[in-house]
Amino acid sequence: MISDLYFQTLKPLYELDFMNAAHWLLPRNTIETVGGFNPFFFHYGEDNEYVNRVHFHKKKVFLAPESKVVHDGKQSLQKVDYTKYEDLRIETNIMNPNLPNAFQLEKKALLQSMFKNFFLLNIKKTKDIFNKYQNISKKSDLLMK
């Protein structure tokens, strides 16, 4: 798409793997098939989790370069303070229906990372990973739905 933009040969649609939810226009059939947003995700991660389900149902994500989007919310030149929000990438991976055994794989990866950091004497990182491991273990019922 970038080269098409440069050479002014834009196509009406480009298939993408992901697009932020603020820019979506969903056909009714997609919502009926895929469902709505997962209530597990309050802020950040909800669009990633939804797109995973879109792909699971063999649907596609397209960008229409001629479209115009206005995100209805506070517009600021400042970056979002992501420190106020929990990093939910692991939970998003666990809930991805395209990844079989994702819960076990994520727990294994966390354990490996925890041991690696422990042996490297990175105690703070080890504690952070241990807390994440405990957190997802406690939430297993919600994550495995």
What's the predicted TM-score (pTM) here? 0.78
Q: Tell me the two tokens of residue 83.
A: 């420190």
CA–CA gap between residue 26 and residue 23 (Å, rounded): 10
Question: What pLDDT, on the 0 to 100 scale, is given for residue 60?
Answer: 95
Beta bridge partners of 16: 61
**What are the 10-residue block averages of pLDDT along the chain, 145 residues in total?**
92 94 91 94 88 96 90 66 72 92 93 95 94 90 78
Question: Cβ atoms within 10 A of the Cβ of 14, count?
Answer: 13
- For position 84, what pLDDT does the model report? 63
Dihedral sign for Cα atoms in the order 82, 95, 139, 110: negative
How far apart are the C-alpha atoms of 114 and 134, rounded to whole Å? 12
